């Protein structure tokens, strides 16, 4: 069982990332739960999404201590850091988040400059896809191909023109 918490501020694609992880896990025949949480503001407010991917049935949708924390902004790291299980994994958007070196004695930290890479690719909004690609590579919990398939299901049809850049972002994150 993999318990994942994705967190950032509104507009960073946090909920979309959670839906994609859940869909990719489901396509692999696993049991999944995705539980989004929003702050009172739409853009700029806090957002997080709890995702559980398991080979067995899932008893509860709530995650008190994630195995993996994916954070897109500093406030999210500060808020959720202490919840991550010992020897867990934290994937940070190192363009916006800095991590104390002492943390690395308790958990594994992957520092991905997601915003910088997204700008290089031509669209800041694909930063979430970059960290998902890195998650897929690091954990093996979901396959990159299933994340690509999830794009078609998660993005509304009017946004399907964005699928190629999102695929590039997933692949770039996977390469890192």
Q: What is the DSSP letter of 124?
A: G
- Secondary element (H or E) of residue 128: helix 127-139
Domain around 157: 2-175
Asked whether 69 and 3 are in contact (CB, 8 A), the reply is no
Rounded mean pLDDT, 26-30: 95
Domain count for the chain, please give it: 1
Statement: residue 56 has pLDDT above 70: yes
Q: CATH number of the domain at 164, please.
A: 3.40.920.10
Per-residue confidence (pLDDT) for residue 40, from 0 to 100: 60
pLDDT digits (tens, 9 = 90+) for 80-120: 999 999 999 999 999 999 888 888 888 999 999 999 999 99
24-33, 69-78, 93-102: segment of lowest average pLDDT = 93-102
H and E: helices and strands count for the chain: 6, 6
Statement: residue 18 has pLDDT above 60: yes
Q: What is the pTM of this model?
A: 0.92
CA distance 70 to 92: 6
| Percent of the chain whose predicted confidence (pLDDT) is above 90 | 79
Per-residue confidence (pLDDT) for residue 104, from 0 to 100: 82
Asked whether 103 and 83 are in contact (CB, 8 A), the reply is no
- Closest C-alpha among 9, 159, 134, 160 to residue 68: 134
Q: What residues does 68 pair with on adjacent strands?
A: 4, 89
């Amino acid at each position: 069982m993999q318990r994942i918490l994705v967190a950032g501020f509104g507009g960073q694609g946090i909920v979309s990332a959670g839906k994609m992880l859940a869909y990719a896990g489901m396509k692999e025949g696993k049991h999944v739960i995705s539980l989004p949480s929003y702050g009172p503001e739409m853009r700029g407010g806090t957002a997080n999404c709890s995702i559980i991917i398991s080979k067995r049935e899932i008893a509860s949708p709530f995650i008190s201590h994630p195995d993996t924390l994916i954070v897109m902004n500093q406030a999210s790291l500060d808020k959720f850091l202490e919840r991550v299980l010992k020897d867990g994994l934290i994937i940070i958007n190192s363009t916006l988040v800095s991590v104390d070196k002492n943390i690395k004695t308790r958990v594994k930290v992957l520092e991905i400059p997601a915003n910088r890479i997204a700008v290089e690719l031509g669209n800041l909004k694909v930063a979430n896809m970059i960290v998902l690609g890195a998650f897929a590579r690091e954990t093996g919990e979901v396959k990159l191909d299933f994340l690509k398939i999830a794009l078609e299901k998660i993005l509304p049809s009017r946004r399907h023109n964005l699928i190629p850049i999102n695929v590039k972002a997933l692949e770039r994150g996977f390469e890192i």
